[in-house]
Structure 1
């Protein structure tokens, strides 16, 4: 009986351990983190990473809000990019450094309507 209980306990511990991995928060998945040398192409990065939800390079709403002329302050944008929003936006803090997130915010602040 004692051996049976030990096996059951070991099995239960394994199942709980695996299930806790499935409950981990969703994080942005990037095959290769952006280079940390300050020279990445923010417009290309935005198109490939953010453009799925923030249409026209962030100029119009898509699945996510329009970012051009955002009323949100830089701290809010930084925290949202870094930490995400449950059920709405993945966290990119594991893919980008704080300095890179600041470059993304500068890109957002510089957005202007396309001509033509």
Structure 2
């Protein structure tokens, strides 16, 4: 009798923990979606800036060079953010749903780890 109650209590605790992890996973997925959308918007501005600006000859060479260099760096960072956000939002929940036992925690910690490359702010539980 005690053994059955112990197993039932363990199963309930695991189920409650998985519900919390699911909420955390949904929060992180929504955060990645928002960051990817913002990066796409800024990347669109960078592409528009690079393709539609007219540079005259009276602007110093170093200013032209800095403008194109920083615009290109901005575009590359936006593309990197979009790719990371897309990969994590597709593969993280997929691993959590279809992975082996313990994959929910593995997906959560993997998504939190990748957050450092996409978002400059601290992750959950980091302040």
**What TM-score results when the alignment is normalised by the length of structure 1?**
0.36
More helix by share: 2
**What TM-score results when the alignment is normalised by the length of structure 2?**
0.33
Higher relative contact order, chain-length normalized (CA < 8 Å, sep 6+): 2
